[in-house]
Amino acid sequence: MSLLITGAPRVRAAASAALKAIQSDEAIEAVARAAKHCSGDETWVLATLGRFPSSRVRTLLAGDLLLTKVAPLLALGPEENWLANPAVASDLGFLLSQDL
């Protein structure tokens, strides 16, 4: 978790992507613990929580003030935002590329 807080920008992004790919309950819980006890830059810790499935994060953080920080990020994910669905995003990209 320290890589999300103290790593170089590319390292933070890579650590976040790796944790997103893992998506285990243990990974989500570890990132949540890091966010609760972070004494440095928490940007990538919160961003990583926002990349996990919103239903799992909301369940884990139910009643926790940390959820108020993460909720806007969760709203951008495909579980809560139909426009973030990969198929819809592809269709929108195609539509936006049209020259009408």
Residue (of 63, 86, 61) closest to 74 by Cα position: 61
> 100 pLDDT exceeds 70?
no
Mean pLDDT of 10-30: 94
What pLDDT, on the 0 to 100 scale, is given for residue 6?
85
Which pLDDT value is given to residue 91? 86
pTM of the model: 0.83
Mean pLDDT of 48-56: 96
Mean pLDDT of 24-47: 90
CA–CA dist 92, 100 (Å, integer): 14
Instruction: At 52, give phi and psi (nearest 5°).
Output: -80, 165
> Would you list the DSSP string of 39-91?
-S--HHHHHHHHHS-HHHHHHHTTT-THHHHHHHHHTTSTTT-GGGSHHHHHH
